[in-house]
Amino acid sequence: MSKQRLKFDLLVHDLKVPLAVIEAGATSLLQRMEKYGPLTDKQIKVMNRILRNTINTKRLVNDALELGRSSEGIIHKTQFLVSDFIEESLVEIFDLTDSEAAESIKDCANLTASKQALESRGIFLEIDEGLWCRKISLDESKIKQVLRNLLNNALKYRKNRIELTLQENDNALQISVADDGDGIPADYHERIFECYFQMDMEEQHCVRGHGLGLAGVMILVEDMGGTLNLESDLGQGTLFSVKIPY
Ligand SMILES: Nc1ncnc2c1ncn2[C@@H]1O[C@H](COP(=O)(O)OP(=O)(O)OP(=O)(O)O)[C@@H](O)[C@H]1O
Ligand SMILES: [Mg+2]
């Protein structure tokens, strides 16, 4: 292992302690009100948001450290509900930008309610009831990372709408994210998957990222033995679809 790599892993490793302190603090405030004092309903919602994002971060830190153990990607398959995976990914996204949206997505009791909550935010979910209620066996944290990155890009670049479609084909899960944004010219279709590459678009997209999301998505999809497809051109919106075999 190079010195640079070791220093990087140590930095990630040292995030564990402050994260544990944040998690313990939030848990105490929520669960020991007799000691720390009562919280209002609004405060409880905020604390829960802090707690679930701390837990998500802890999972990412652990995944990052495990990645360091092997140059190959490690796959952790678990059984999980498709509905949970979709809802949790969306809640993680909206927790930052629109906490009301996050709460309303979290509170949905069934597919119809989830579709409605999303439609009012310009996200059109296409999935059949059978798949929505099914348990599948895949690397949940990796496919969440893939979906989150594709959705974050779509939210950043769309004009009005996003179509999120999930299907099962040939013993694989297919996830498509389509937006109605400016699109990606064919000349850039390979380069956008390079680390730190960002197309030089107009300044209208003030939320700048690092140009790492798609490079990461590509690697994660490859690790899971899947494929990624891009259909887009200038002025025609963008469609990313990934297919992950079970
Ligand atoms: N849905 C999309 N519509 C238009 N352009 C896109 C879309 N998704 C990605 N791109 C282009 O591809 C580039 C690379 O995307 P990528 O997700 O890797 O980086 P980023 O979103 O800029 O930053 P990061 O994901 O690291 O926060 C983007 O900067 C953008 O130019
Ligand atoms: Mg991105």
Q: Per-residue pLDDT for 102 more than 60?
A: yes
pLDDT at position 231 over 70 = yes
**Tens of pLDDT along 118-153?**
999 999 999 999 999 999 999 998 999 999 999 999
Residue 207 has a pLDDT of 55
What's the confidence (pLDDT) of residue 62? 86
**Window from 30-34, 50-54, 197-201 with minimum mean pLDDT:** 197-201
Percent of the chain with pLDDT over 90: 76
Number of DSSP helices (H) and strands (E) in the chain, helices first: 10, 7
DSSP state of 26: H
Share of the chain above pLDDT 70, in %: 94
Task: Measure CA 202 to chain center.
Answer: 26
* Tokens 């497809």, residue located: 229
Is the Cβ atom of 198 under 6 angstroms away from ligand 1?
yes
Contact 75, 139 (CB under 8 A): yes
129 CA from centroid of ligand 1 (Å): 31
- Residue 238: CB within 6 Å of ligand 1? yes
Nearest protein CA to atom 4 of ligand 1, as residue: 183
Q: Which pLDDT belongs to residue 97?
A: 85
Q: Which residues surround ligand 2, an ion (CB under 5 A)?
A: 153, 209, 213
Predicted model pTM: 0.88
Measuring CA to CA, how many Å separate 132 from each of 86, 128, 174? Answer: 9, 6, 13
Q: What is the mean pLDDT of the chain?
A: 91
Q: Are 243 and 233 in contact (CB under 8 A)?
A: no
Q: List the Cα angle 53/59/60 in 5-degree steps.
A: 90
Residue 100 Cα to ligand 2 midpoint, Å, equals 23
pLDDT digits (tens, 9 = 90+) for 28-45: 999 999 999 999 999 999
**Contact status, residue 106 vs residue 162, Cβ threshold 8 Å:** no
pLDDT confidence of residue 5: 82
pLDDT reading at 167 higher than 90: yes
Q: Please report, for residues 114, 134, 140, 244, the alpha-carbon distance to residue 168 in angstroms, rounded to integers and kept in the order given.
A: 20, 11, 16, 10
Inter-CA distances, 105 with 50, 90, 121, Å? 17, 8, 10
Answer yes or no: is the C-beta of 210 below 6 A from any ligand 1 atom: yes
Euclidean distance between CA atoms 106 and 83, whole angstroms: 11
* Ligand 1 atom nearest to 200, measured from its CA: 31
Burial label for 220, CB within 10 Å (0-12, 13-18, 19+), is buried
What average pLDDT does range 163-173 have in this prediction? 95
